[in-house]
Amino acid sequence: MDLALAPLDVQRIRQDFPILSQTVRGRPLVFLDSGASAQKPRQVMDAMRACMETAYANVHRGAYHLSEVATENHEASREAARRFLNAARVEEIILTGGSTSAINLVAHSFGRGMLKPGQRVLVSEMEHHANLVPWQMLRDDGRGIGLGFIRITDAGELDLDSLHAELRKGDVGLVAVTHMSNVLGTVTPAGAIARMAHEHGARVLFDGSQAAVHRRVDVQALDADFYAFTGHKLYGPTGIGVLYAKHELLEAMPPFLGGGDMIETVTLERSTWAAPPARFEAGTPPIIEAAGMKAAIEYVEAIGMEAMEAHERSLVDHAMRVLPEVEGLTLVGSAQDRGGVFSFSLDAAHPHDLSTFVDRRGICIRAGRHCAEPLHERLGLESGSARASFGLYTTHGEIDALAEALREARRFFA
C-alpha cells in the first residue's frame, strides 16, 4: 500500500495503530512516550505473524526449502536496514539485539580488540547510559584505555570547542556520541563531529536510537565509522537493532560472542572466524523480529522521511508555543536544532506525581532520569524530569491535551 502522503495525513496514519483507538478511564489514549518505545502498526504485526505462520525455520543452516525461504527473508531484512541507512554494502549491517547490544559489541570488539593502551574514548555529558556504561567498563578492566568527556552548553547543545580541545590532546581513539538526545531532543552536528574526529585520527560512533526515527540518516554522507539504532523505537519490535560499521573495520575486529554461525572452522584446539557480518552474529538470530523490523522500515519509507520530518517540525513548533504558556513549567534545554522530545519540570509537582496525574487523563508521559543520570546532574535536576516524546501519529490536539492536563496538575498540587 502506498502511504506517501504530503502533507502527512495523521488521522489516516493513526488507523494503522490499533492501540491508539482505545480509551483510558473514558478518555482517548494520548501516547506521548514514543521516545521510550513506539507503538506498532498493523503492517508490522502482520509481517511477524506471516513469518510464524508461513515461512518460519532456522536460517543460514538448513538444506531444505523452508529454511532457504526463511534465510532469504531474513537477509532481506538486512538489505532493508542497509537501504535505510544508505550503507555501501550489506555486509556492513550487523543485526543485534538493539542499540545497547550494538554499542556493547563495539566496546568489546573494537574497544578491547583494536584500541591501544593510553588511548581514550570520548563521550558527551548528554549520553544515554547505553553509550556511557560500556565505556566505563572498558576503562575499568585494566587495559589502560581512558575515558574523556565532551561538555555541553547550558542550552543543551554539544560544545564543539570542548570536543576540539579533547581531540587536540592526541590520544583519542574513538568519539562515541548521541545523534539525538533522548532527554533534550538536541540533534548533534554529526557531520562536523565526524570530520573533527577523523582529522585527529579518531573513529566515531553515533548512537542513533532517537535520530533514526526522526531524521533521514545517510552513514556515507556522515562518514560514520559506526552507527547504531534500535527497532522498537522505529515502530518495529523489541529485541532487534542494527549496528552499521565500515567494512574494513569489521574485517579487522575480533568477534564478541562465540558459538554457532560466527565460525569458519572449529576443532577441539582452535576456531577460525567467519567473514562479517556472520562473525558478529553468534547463535540463532531474532528471525521473527527481523521480519517485523523490515516491515517497520518499509512502512516509514512508504510514508516518506521528508513527510515525517515536516510533521515533526510542525509538532515541535506547536509544542514550543503551547508548553511554555503553562505557568510554572520549565523546558529542559533550548537547542536550536531539536527533535520531538521535550523534557520539563513543573514547580508544583515531582515528575513522578505529575506523570501519575496526567495518566488519570489518559496521557502517557515519562518521569525520572530517562537513563541519563549524569545529564540530569549537569542540569541540576536531581529529582529528574517529565518527558513527552512524539511519534508520527502524534497530533497537535494531543499536545494541547497535555498542556491542559499540566495546568490542572499545577492547580491541584499548588
φ, ψ dihedrals at 132, nearest 5°: -130, -55
Please give the pLDDT value at position 61. Answer: 83
Cα–Cα distances in angstroms (integers) from residue 57 to residues 26, 54, 82, 262, 336, in the given order = 43, 10, 23, 19, 48
pTM for the complete prediction? 0.96
Q: Which residues contact 198 (CB under 8 A, 6 or more apart)?
A: 204, 223
364 is catalytic: no
Look-up of cell digits 490499533: 18
- The residue extents of the domains of the chain are 10-31+304-413, 46-301
Cα–Cα distances in angstroms (integers) from residue 155 to residues 108, 152, 324, 375, in the given order = 33, 8, 16, 12
100 SS3 class? helix
Name residues of the chain where pLDDT drops below 50: 1-6
Q: Is 57 left (phi over 0), alpha (psi -120 to 50) or beta?
A: beta
Question: Strands, E, within 261-332: which ranges?
Answer: 263-266, 271-273, 329-331
Tell me which DSSP letter residue 187 carries: B
The secondary structure of 12-53 as a DSSP string is HHHTT-GGGG-EETTEE-EE-BTTT-----HHHHHHHHHHHH
List the catalytic residue out of 55, 371, 373, 407: 371
Please give the pLDDT value at position 25. Answer: 86
CATH value of 46-301 in 2.40.37.10, 3.30.930.10, 2.60.40.10, 3.40.640.10: 3.40.640.10
146 contacts 122 by C-beta, under 8 angstroms? no
Domain topology for 10-31+304-413: Aspartate Aminotransferase, domain 1 (3.90.1150)
Question: Strands, E, within 55-201: which ranges?
Answer: 93-96, 120-124, 146-150, 172-178
